[in-house]
Chains A and B, each alone.
Chain A
Amino acid sequence: MTDAIQKPEKKKSSLLQLDARTRTRNAAETRFKAYGMIAIAFGLLMLSILVFNIVTRGAGAYQQTFVALEVELLAGKLDKKGNRDLDDIKKVSTFGYTPLLSNALEAKVIELGIETDLKAKKMVGILSKSAAAQVRDYVLNNPNKIGETIGFEFLASSRVDGYLKGRVNRDSIGNDKNISPAQLDLVDALKAEGSLAKRFNMSFITGSDASDARPEAAGMGTSMIGSFFMMLVVLVLALPIGVAASIYLEEFAPKNWITDIIEVNISNLAAVPSIVFGILGLAVFINYMHLPNSAPLVGGLVLTLMTLPTIIISTRASLKAVPPSIRDAALGVGASKMQSVFHHVLPLAAPGILTGTIIGLAQALGETAPLLLIGMVGFIASNPPDSIATGLLSPNSAMPAQIYEWAKRADPAFYERAWGGIIILLVFLVTMNTIAVILRRRFERRW
């Protein structure tokens, strides 16, 4: 029993001084809090890196290098018979126009006194391959100008454009057949003189996609129209069907196993991978119903099925938010159940439904995977549709599919286009979401 006699050592503690255990506990507290801050900082850092990347890499697509040239439309080449007959002029292909361009460049070089040992044919290499077609289109529209000298602004080739933007330099073009250091010397000289310059490029926003050889001419316009028609289909189908389904489920459906199955189905459909909807579209709309491949109509149908659960879920939430007293009051003055829903509940839920629809549309606008399967990639969407029917049925691309298409092409000049396209896509999404937020703030009623 010796232990009992020993006096326990008196523990010195003070309220003012933290003991070791409290200190470790407080340190753990600080660490824990720091982990949370680090997590948030990491998320925000990634967001800012992403946005920074998009802006810095995509901004280039909105500027393009143009070359101003005076081209003499030689009558001897373009209209050999001299009778200004449009059919004869049409027989001259774009190849026939290339000499005009080389003459114009040569004249420019001589006028400016630039020393270069490039042949005239090689000089044309600094221009886009679409330059000859541009002159031809002009001549076909204005045949009376043949024989005159007209000032044109041509797109420079993508390599020259990349050189001005710093993507291409003299070291990197060692094995490049499309550009040579001598051509870059010419570019430098023209730039110093001012006839070759970068400026805002509207045709990136309004223009069509271009072939692999002409990244400088590719634009988003046509695919924007494709996206527009798809969204039209989604809006026309998904909004009424979604609202009808939600009204049934929220207001009329009896509580039984069929209703349960429908509800479980909707919440599961919301989580089905988008590519599965693409497989559905391919199997049902294209292989079975023989709707045209790559058509915005098919894309719209697939996206409708995808967006429906989103719209149904948000519509049901806003129907639920309308207080039962409104329904009771309507029923009390003699309205039928249907009348109380359509005359009173639905108008009060409309802002919420609209908000949900816009958010659903924004989601559908950015969706890519199902569009790959129904064939909205792998071709050059070059012709803007001329009517609603062709807009719905003729092959077209869509904004995200166009971006994917550019990302898949080998030429780095297309990457810049892809980032630029993303800027347009995000502008649309931000606008739609802002409208949704404003609608919600403005019209949301708290009961």
Chain B
Amino acid sequence: MSTTSLLVIAILILATLGYFLASKRAISTAGGDRRKLHSLPVYYGSNAAMFTAIPALGVLLIWLLAQPMLVERNILSTIPDKLIPEGSSIGLVMSDVRRVADGLEVVVNTGTLSQNETLKLDTEQTDIRALLAGVGAAVGSDVQPEVLEAAQNYRAQTKMGQLWMVLIIVPLALIGFALSVLAAKPTFRARNTVERGILALLVLAASLAILTTIGIVFSMLFESINFFKLHPWTDFFFGGSWAPNFRGDSDLSILPLLWGTIYISIIALIVAVPVGLFAAIYLSEYASPRVRAFAKPLLEILAGIPTIVYGLFALLTVGPALVRVFGRGEEGLLGLEWMSGATAVLTAGLVMGIMLIPFVSSLSDDIINAVPQSLRDGSLGLGATPSETIRQVVLPAALPGIVGAVLLAASRAIGETMIVVLGAGAIAKFSANPLEAMTTITTRIVSQLTGDTDFASPETLVAFALGLTLFVLTLGLNVIALYIVRKYREQYD
């Protein structure tokens, strides 16, 4: 069992012990009379458990996150430049070092060699690769002496770090244990302390949302900066073509991808907005309660279907159906030869539109329902027909909200991945023909980041720049949409 898990178990045992000791001690210092205690004995116990476990576990967590980074930085500075082969990167050498170090750990653990023997290992005398392969740790190439040395260093520093970790965390837990058990006296306000601790945990949980956002932004920002160091930003934002080439010298411009993304989203909105809007109008203004109770949940099923299902639907059903209509020359329904493959802008756009129907309809439904009944009554009382009321009174009143709903749907369409990965194709180009295959930002992120990736090449890193652009784009749309919707809701509240 690893040092870390032993440490965690020890801390937990200590905390449990603290719980019982502190609640016992609280009662006994009160002379066995619970009424003399400030708080219930449970709180004295919890207080002890809290002070034993939480500082120690918190430091442990931070330590575990920080140590690999610090050790790695130390090792990186010792790796000579000549070790990095042509076309490779320091990151790959570092992962070799890590693999050798892990392998040596296994060698010691399985008892193949003793700790001292591994320290004396020499690339001249032993075949390290075979040795590691013997315990099931695969290393890609023969181990060079520098790598071995770095790996030895890595192990030594990791060991040292672990030793310090134990030396700091165990006393920390013991101090917390001792202080909190000693504090368990009738005058001690244990409940207040425990409740403050719980509140701190609640705050921590709530701030995870902020942490996630920061994580998203920084993880993409750092890699994007790395990308712009390797690739001119002018080409990324203003270049005209997308042609990644893993041998280097690629054209990586976002514009063709952005065009594909927007084109597909527009088609999706052309399908989803009228259908969704009319469905919402009918459901909220015309439909009898029975129709509404039946049609609304059914429509909303469309929103609950996973996108992979829509992707498959596009690739295997809608795409071939469109080819049958617009393609195949003489054999096709129209005798045309406009469409050659199932993947096309129209395929992805149509299916995405179907997916967005319930999204638009339920948002618009809410918004139309929020328009005060008095407006409708006034209009109907003046002799307008229901449709005139809707067109000239309800819709203008609901317009800002509906615009917000459409913007939210657009942001959904831009960020949608599975439908376009399966249905849109992989060719980046500027074209106005909806029957051609085109590609989108999300599709390219997936293709650049799956499979064997090398995080030092611009062809991989470009995915982070694409991701950041996508994030900013959808975030902007969402913020505007939410602002409009919220502002509009306030009007009638």
A interface list, Cβ under 8 A from B: 25-26, 28-29, 31-33, 35-40, 42-44, 46-47, 49-50, 53-54, 57, 240-242, 244-245, 247-249, 252-253, 261-262, 265-269, 271-280, 282-284, 287-290, 305, 308-309, 312, 336-338, 362, 365-369, 372-373, 375, 377-378, 400, 403-404, 407, 415, 418-419, 422, 425-426, 429, 433
Q: What would be 14 A-B contacts, judged by CB atoms less than 8 Å apart?
A: A29-B386, A39-B277, A44-B295, A249-B206, A271-B411, A271-B412, A289-B65, A308-B209, A366-B308, A368-B311, A368-B417, A407-B311, A426-B305, A433-B304
- Contact for A245 among B195, B205, B478, CB less than 8 A: B205
Asked whether, in the complex, the Cβ of B387 is within 8 Å of the Cβ of A262, the reply is: no
A43 touches B309 (CB 8 A): no
Contact residues in A for B416 (Cβ distance below 8 Å)? 273
Residues of A contacting B207 with CB < 8 Å? 262
A265 near B210 (CB under 8 angstroms)? Answer: yes
- Are A43 and B358 in contact (CB-based, < 8 A)? yes
Contact between B209 and A338 (Cβ–Cβ < 8 Å)?
A: no
Known: A40-B282, A283-B220, A426-B305. A369 touches B299 (CB 8 A): no
**CB <8 Å contact, A368 and B306:** yes
**Does B195 contact A272, Cβ atoms closer than 8 Å?**
no
Give the distance to chain B from A24, nearest Cβ to Cβ, in Å: 11
Q: Is B382 an interface residue (CB 8 A)?
A: no
Say yes or no: A47-B301 contact (C-beta < 8 A), given A336-B191, A400-B306: yes
**A378 near B463 (CB under 8 angstroms)?**
no
Q: How far is the CA of A328 from the CA of B367 in the complex (A)?
A: 34
A39-B279 contact given A29-B387, A275-B415, CB 8 Å threshold = yes
The 8 closest A-B pairs by CB, nearest first: A273-B415, A36-B282, A366-B306, A283-B219, A39-B278, A244-B205, A32-B387, A248-B202
CB distance from B46 to the nearest CB of A (A): 12
> Number of contact residues on B: which range applies?
35 or more
Instruction: Please give the distance in Å from A41's CB to the nearest CB on chain B.
Output: 9
Residues of chain B within 8 A (CB-CB) of A367 are 306-307
Q: Which of B291-312 contact A (CB under 8 A)?
A: 295, 298-299, 301-302, 304-309, 311-312
User: Once the chains bind, are A267 and B275 in contact (CB under 8 Å)?
Assistant: no
Who on chain A is nearest to B452 by CB? A378
B445 adjacent to chain A (CB < 8 Å): yes
B219 and chain A: residue at smallest CB distance = A283
Contact across chains for B279 and A366 when beta carbons are under 8 A apart: no
Q: Which of B49-57, B107-115, B247-255, B468-476 contacts A (4 or more CB under 8 A)?
A: B468-476
Supposing A39-B279, A426-B305 touch, asked if A372 and B385 sit within 8 A by C-beta, the answer is no
CA distance A422 to B308 in the complex (A): 9
Asked whether B213 is an interface residue with its Cβ less than 8 Å from the other chain, the reply is yes
Choose among B209, B277, B302 the residue that contacts A47 (Cβ–Cβ < 8 A): B302
Q: A33 contacts B282, CB within 8 Å?
A: yes
A25 lies within 8 A of B385 (CB): yes
User: Which residues from A are CB-within-8-Å of B313?
Assistant: 50, 53
- The listed residue (A43, A282, A338) touching B198 by CB distance below 8 A is A338
**Contacting pair A308 B212 (CB below 8 A):** yes
Q: B118 an interface residue at 8 Å Cβ cutoff? A: no
Decide: A368 and B308 in contact? CB cutoff 8 A: yes
Chain B 187-224 interface 0/1 with A at a Cβ cutoff of 8 Å (1 = within) = 00001000100110111111111101101100110110
* Contact of B68 with A by CB under 8 A: yes
A244 cross-chain contacts in B, Cβ below 8 A: 201-202, 204-206
Please give, as numbers and ranges, the residues of chain A lying within 8 Å of B412 by CB-CB distance.
Answer: 271
B-chain residues with CB within 8 Å of residue A283 when the two chains form the complex? 219-220, 222-223, 464
A248 vs B464: C-alpha distance when bound (angstroms): 34
Contact A403 B308, beta carbon cutoff 8 Å: yes
CA distance A287 to B312 in the complex (A): 31
Q: How far is the CA of A359 from the CA of B435 in the complex (A)?
A: 37
Contact between B279 and A36 (Cβ–Cβ < 8 Å)?
Answer: yes
Q: Is the interface of A mostly helix, strand, loop or mixed?
A: helix
Indicate if the CB atoms of A275 and B445 lie closer than 8 Å. Answer: yes
Given the interface pairs A50-B313, A244-B201, A279-B464, the reply to whether A404 lies near B206 with Cβ below 8 Å is: no
Q: Give the residue of A25, A53, A245, A429 whose beta carbon is less than 8 angstroms from that of B306.
A: A429
Residues on the B chain within 8 Å of A309, using CB: 209
Contacts of B68 in A (CB 8 A): 289-290
Are A407 and B422 touching (Cβ within 8 A)?
yes
Least distance between A345 CB and chain B CB atoms (Å): 13
Q: Which residues of A contact B15 (CB under 8 A)?
A: none
Which residues on the A side are within 8 Å of B173 (C-beta)?
Answer: none
User: Are A269 and B415 interface neighbours, CB within 8 A?
Assistant: no
Q: How far is B357's CA from A203's CA once the two chains are assembled, in angstroms?
A: 37
The interface residues of chain B lying within 8 Å CB-to-CB of A337 are 195
Is B307 a contact of A368 with CB atoms below 8 Å?
yes
B309 with A46: CB separation less than 8 A = no
Q: Does B449 contact A (CB under 8 A)?
A: yes
- Proximity string of chain B (413-446) to chain A, C-beta cutoff 8 Å, 1 when within and 0 when not: 0111110011000000000000000000010011
**B63 near A: Cβ within 8 Å?**
no
Of all chain A residues, the one with the shortest Cβ separation from B418 is A368
Quick check: is B176 within 8 A (CB to CB) of the other chain? no
Contact B449 A282 (CB under 8 A): yes
B237 proximity list for chain A (CB < 8 A): none
Which residues from B are CB-within-8-Å of A47? 298-299, 301-302
Inter-chain contact A40/B279, CB cutoff 8 Å = yes
Given A33-B387, A46-B354, A273-B414, A403–B312 Cβ distance below 8 Å? yes
Residues of A within 8 A of B266 (CB): none
- Determine if B299 and A40 form an interchain contact, defined as CB atoms under 8 angstroms apart: yes
Q: Which of A35, A46, A240, A244 has the most CB of B within 10 A?
A: A46
Known: A31-B387, A279-B463, A305-B212. 8 other contacts (CB 8 A): A28-B388, A50-B354, A248-B202, A275-B445, A276-B220, A283-B219, A284-B219, A400-B308
Are A272 and B474 closer than 8 Å at their CB atoms? yes
The reply to whether the CB of B181 lies closer than 8 angstroms to some CB of chain A is no
Most chain B beta-carbon neighbours within 10 Å: one of A273, A368, A433: A273
Known A28-B387, A248-B202; judge A262-B209 contact (CB<8 A).
Answer: yes
- Please tell me which one of the listed residues A35, A372, A425, A429 contacts residue B278 in the complex, with CB atoms under 8 A apart: A35
B140 to chain A, nearest CB (A): 15
Smallest beta-carbon distance B401→chain A, Å: 16
CB distance from A319 to the nearest CB of B (A): 12
